[in-house]
Amino acid sequence: MFLGHVAVGLAAKKVAPKTSLLWLVGAPGLLDLLWPVFLALGLEEVRIAPGITAATPLDFVSYPWSHSLVMTLVWSSLAATTYAAGALAIALGVTSHWVLDWVSHRPDMPLAPWSDAKAGLGLWNSVPATLVAEALLFGLGLWLYVRTTKPSDATGRWAFAAFAAFLCAVYLGNLFGPPPPSVPALTGVTFTLFLVPLWAGWFDRHRALRA
């Protein structure tokens, strides 16, 4: 749930207004930032299997270190201790990733690295349902962020607008475009996710809190 994770970060500005969006958006996306690292190290495994769900061709064979429920709570605790301001919002943001993925994925979400138990409600089995859920979450996140902040210059206005438009374009491209050509290519592209919180932190510095 790509847009949904970003939406959580945008909405968190409402409850942690003094915390940079770099951290608020980075927190719900943290597990996906760790994932390509563990893939590159050979500690986790993914397979490209078109048709495995309607919304994504990816078969998440093994990803207990980045995405299990137990490790999510560990990453959540660690993330909260690295940045004191907004620590609770950051911790909840990291934890929200597992919850949203649990709703989206087929039963492939691991509960713990040492357990074979997996969960998932399978939202991705329906493209229309996936689109509606992502659109509603992203729209709500954008609305709450706009209600909390206002642009202080052109960068704050247009970099934010470009951010929202770009994420929508990438999401739709992934949803309706061809599957990745290979796992190494997928891993390399996934590293670009690090740009998302950096971009968010950039335009957030050019926006002021509303009274």
Instruction: Tell me the per-residue pLDDT of 121-178, one tens digit each, with 9 for 90 and over.
Output: 999 999 999 999 999 999 999 999 999 999 999 999 999 999 999 999 999 999 999 9
Q: How many angstroms separate the Cα of 109 from the Cα of each of 13, 60, 61, 93, 103? A: 28, 8, 10, 18, 10
Q: pTM score > 0.85 for this model?
A: yes
Mean pLDDT, residues 6-33 taken together: 96
Q: Is the pLDDT of residue 63 over 70?
A: yes
Instruction: Report the C-alpha gap between 167 and 162 in whole angstroms.
Output: 8
Strand, coil or helix: what is 101?
A: helix
Q: 84 falls in which pLDDT band (50, 70, 90)?
A: low
Mean pLDDT, residues 13-25 taken together: 95
Q: How many angstroms separate the Cα of 201 from the Cα of each of 45, 125, 161, 172, 204? A: 31, 33, 14, 23, 5
pLDDT of residue 138: 98
pLDDT of residue 81: 87
Residue 99: CB partners within 8 Å, gap ≥ 6?
none
Please state, for a pLDDT cut of 90, what percent of the chain lies above it.
Answer: 96
Tell me the domain boundaries of the chain.
2-209
Q: 85 falls in which pLDDT band (50, 70, 90)?
A: confident
pLDDT of residue 83: 72
Instruction: Report the C-alpha gap between 193 and 207 in whole angstroms.
Output: 22
Mean pLDDT, residues 179-197 taken together: 96
